[in-house]
Amino acid sequence: MLDLERFVDDCKAAVAADPSHKAAHDVVSRAFSDPSEVLAAVGEPPESGIIPIYTSSDLTIINVIWKPGMTLMPHNHEMWAIIGVYGGREDNIFWRRVKDDPNGRIEAAGAKALSTGDVAPLGKDIIHSVTNPIMKLTGAIHVYGGNFFEQERSEWEPGSLLERPYDIEKAKMMFGK
């Protein structure tokens, strides 16, 4: 079984050695070589939620559990991220800003489905939306290169795709029952 304390320590050491995502990506990739070990470490998720594992100014590790069919609006992080899925699937749509749009609109630029065992890095400037397309909970460990809960960032209104400040409390409520 994955030792969560050791995983956190390894992520902290990786960020201290290399503040880019590369060393931390190696740590997450090793941990997810057997996603059943990650599941055993965090436990079978009983419900959706955003469960902090570790938070500091330069690193946040979260157990993110998506409701069946849940979609999170387009948003950015203003920091790198690494996503490792230990059960289920996350479908990511990647977005880019529409050139010369004064309202900060975005347009779709690509997509990637992440399934159990997949690990994907997201750069500091990535904008994405996430959907759990399956009818069961999806669990993933998200590792961020900063304080996820305090970083100012943006989200985009799903209908108009207009930019607005990210509302972490609203996001937390979406993960509630």
Q: Residue 48 phi/psi, 5° resolution?
A: -70, 160
177 residues of the chain, pLDDT tens digit each? 899 999 999 999 999 999 999 999 999 999 999 999 999 999 999 999 999 999 999 999 999 999 999 999 999 999 999 999 999 999 999 999 999 988 889 999 999 999 999 999 999 999 999 999 999 999 999 999 999 999 999 999 999 999 999 998 888 899 885
- Are 61 and 143 in contact, with CB atoms under 8 Å apart? yes
Written as six digits, the tokens of 146 are 């900063």
Closest CA to 131 of 83, 67, 79, 36: 67
pLDDT value of position 109: 97
Distance CA 33, CA 40 (A): 13
- Give the bridge partners for 114, in sequence order: 90
Counts for the chain of helices (H) and strands (E), in that order: 4, 11
Tens of pLDDT, residue by residue over 48-94, are 999 999 999 999 999 999 999 999 999 999 999 999 999 999 999 99
Rounded Cα gap, residues 119 and 123, in angstroms = 13
Q: Which two tokens stand for residue 1?
A: 């079984």
**Residues 132, 78: Cα–Cα separation, whole Å:** 23
Please give the model's pTM, rounded to 2 decimal places: 0.95
AA identity, residue 158: P
Q: What is the CATH number of domain 4-175?
A: 2.60.120.10
